Amino acid sequence: MIRSTAPCRVAAVRAHAPSFPLSPLCASLLASLALAPLGAAAQSHATDAPTLQAVKVVDSVPTPNGRINLDTPVETGSRLGLSPRETPASVTVVDRSTIEARGAQDTQEILRAIPGVTAHNAPGSIGVSYRGFGSGSIGQMFNGISVQYSIAARPVDSWIYDRVEAIGGPSSFLFGSGAVGGSINYVTKTAERHDFTEGQLRLGQNSLKEVSLGLNRRLGGNEGTAGPQHFARIDLNHRDAGNWVNGMHTRSAQLATSLLSDLGGGLSHTLAYEYQNEHVDRPYWGTPLLNPVGGELRIDPRTRFANYNSADGVYAQRVQWLRSVTQWKVSDALQLRNTFYAYNALRDYRNVETYRFNASNTQVIRSAAFLQRHDHEVLGDRIEGTYRSSLAGRKSDWAFGLDVSVNRQTRFPLSLSGTVSTVDPYRFNTENFFSIPGMVPGFKPDRDNKVTNTALYLENRTAVAPRVHLLTALRHERIDLDLINRRAVTAAMPASYSRSYSPTTGRIGVVWDIAPGANLYAQYSTAADPPSGILSTASFADVMNNSELTSGRQAEVGSKIDFWGGKGTATLALYQITRRNIATQDANNPGVTILVGEQSSKGAELSVGLRPSTRWQLQANLTHVDARYENFMQGGVSLAGKTPTNTPATVANLWVGYAITPQLQASAGVRHVGKVYANAANTQWQSAYTLLDLGLAWKVNKTSTLTGRIRNATDRLHAANLGSQAYLGAPRTADVTLHVAF
């Protein structure tokens, strides 16, 4: 039940769930609304619908599991709004039709379409691996905005998202620091300039019930009439489901709503608000590994569905986004855009989180009781523009801008590392969390982290020859980090501490159109990254010991081609990334970290899309990466030559669609993930595994489609993430979805 006490305030969803006040966004909302009167100054009756880039129309329309879409402009590969084909980098777009065709239920499942990406939902360490680097070295953004915190990318039901875009390799020059392995951008649905309605009902195993609704309408006025035009959109999603893990239950809701106003004179404004609420009862925190723990790791199949968390363990989050986007098409050459944004999140954890077998594998030892709250908010503004011009008689386009943001986070940890209980692995009951000695309700703040970021950027694309384009970019940032201690002051934890960083990153790339529908490209790019952890959660030790950001360097070459008379598309990328200045132990003094570590990644990515006939569609990608530490110490031991944990050398995906009849479509998806290591010494590992998904879609009529899916059809037992314990992937599950659109 949602209780409204004021226009800018909402309370908790459940009586026992935490209350999440919305007041921090009230001022943001008022500020964004204040931008709307800009349109009142426009005296023209024109009803232009300005954007920062033009849309290219191609004859052969890509299909969800067929040809790769290389010709639609994207936001993530360049600030100039270039298409993937025009960008000298590996750029992937997972659009709405692909999300629906593959039945991706959440953002984690969407990420599987990106070449070389693996994603896991291990509680407390939700993350992504991309080109051999983990979450802390990957930029994850929402509508081009980074909240500088990897757990903010917790899986969200996919209904409210229009697409996901990704660019591989160092890309801090686009949206800021923290993007050595690549950048991923989750783009939300917003209002469109036509009317439509859609709905979806999904039912499945484990008591899955999900209902979704989307509505887009013109508000007053008719098409072609003079004066402002307004369009509103609302997308709602609610999920209630058990889990394949015993005792776990999730309730979640998402809202995305927006108002698009064409104000005349080339001016438009979009006001968008998003709300996400999730409450997980007794969340799954992993499965113990059988002893002896070494070599290939073993999981007792009898513990596959066991949940060793407290009986009343909780994960809860409330997330809010507000964006005010004003666009002005000053002329055919000059376009400006201002984005004001506010983010507010509250996350609560209450769990027993570590489980291991005793030496004889007859008991499970439960430890690490943890009570935590994250209070997180981001406020920022971005002013940007594009300018179409010429240089020495050749086309030369520019993008420029100023980014300013303030990121604040306070954490409230209370942890007990000792043993909570020892239980029978197969028949057990667990305690209520606050019956654990030392655990009491309430939150005590640890420290406040404040990150202030100011950045200037410039990007240019120039035609240096009739079929050759040079792309350059430069970004300079000023990052100020301020820590305030909210607990006892010691030498290691002073009352406050501050540090500033000033990274400059960039790219230089060239694209050569060697033939119609075929090109070659090369690019050199750089990135800056926090040396230890994430700045928004950095500890006093992180900041005091690490005086510089790490640096990332990448050289990449590749090609993007159409072939087989337009029936096929393919992309190939070869790259080498080096990350230097990693915080590592001093070999002569293991208690001290020094910035001399180095990690490298060399790899190849191949993607192919085919539509050989009207019935068949095929899309596949294959990646191979050699990721290793070149110079790194841990526990007084050199890890040089070792592979980072949870980084598979090979990842391959295949999706096939076949139209049995015009109304009946069969599909299959195969995913292969190579061997991964569970520890930095590479003495523990999981062998490669392959998963199979099956689907059958029946187009009932022009507006309705019924789809049945079986996920992990072979019921493969596998770990999605490994550490001191295993976080298992889902077993075989089935669901049915009815989608209606008109």
Element of type H or E holding 607: strand 589-610
pLDDT at 33: 38
3-state secondary structure at position 476: strand
**CB contact set of 678 (below 8 Å; sequence gap of 6+):** 297, 645, 646, 684, 685, 686, 722, 723
Distance CA 94, CA 108 (A): 12
**What's the N-to-C CA distance of the chain in angstroms?**
30
pLDDT at 584: 75
Decide: 586 and 618 in contact? Cβ < 8 Å: no
Taking the chain (742 residues) in runs of 10, the rounded mean pLDDT of each run is: 36 38 41 38 37 42 82 93 96 95 93 92 82 89 90 90 96 86 95 97 97 95 79 98 96 98 95 97 97 96 97 96 97 97 97 97 98 96 96 94 97 95 97 96 95 96 96 96 95 94 96 97 93 80 82 96 95 96 72 78 97 95 96 86 95 97 96 96 96 98 97 97 94 98 94
pLDDT at 633: 85
CA proximity to 193, closest of 244, 145, 228: 228
pLDDT at 535: 85
pTM for this entry:
0.90
Decide: 645 and 632 in contact? Cβ < 8 Å: no
pLDDT at 30: 39
Cα 739 to Cα 199, 200, 696, 699: the distances in Å are 6, 4, 13, 10
pLDDT at 590: 62
User: In the 8-state DSSP scheme, what is residue 157?
Assistant: B
Decide: 29 and 322 in contact? Cβ < 8 Å: yes
Cα 212 to Cα 1, 155, 199, 234, 627: the distances in Å are 18, 17, 5, 11, 41
Cis bond leading into 292, ω under 30°? yes
pLDDT at 50: 40
pLDDT at 532: 64
339 half-sphere exposure, CB direction, 13 A CA radius: 20
**CB contact set of 474 (below 8 Å; sequence gap of 6+):** 173, 457, 458, 459, 504, 505, 506
Decide: 578 and 592 in contact? Cβ < 8 Å: no
Distance CA 523, CA 167 (A): 13
Beta bridge partners of 387: 334, 398
Cα 77 to Cα 65, 86, 174, 265, 730: the distances in Å are 22, 9, 8, 29, 33
Element of type H or E holding 25: helix 23-33
Phi, psi for 68 (deg, rounded to 5): -80, 135
pLDDT at 198: 97
The b/e string for 628-641 (b: 16+ C-beta within 10 A; e otherwise) is bbeebbbeeeebee
Query: What count of residues does the chain have?
Result: 742
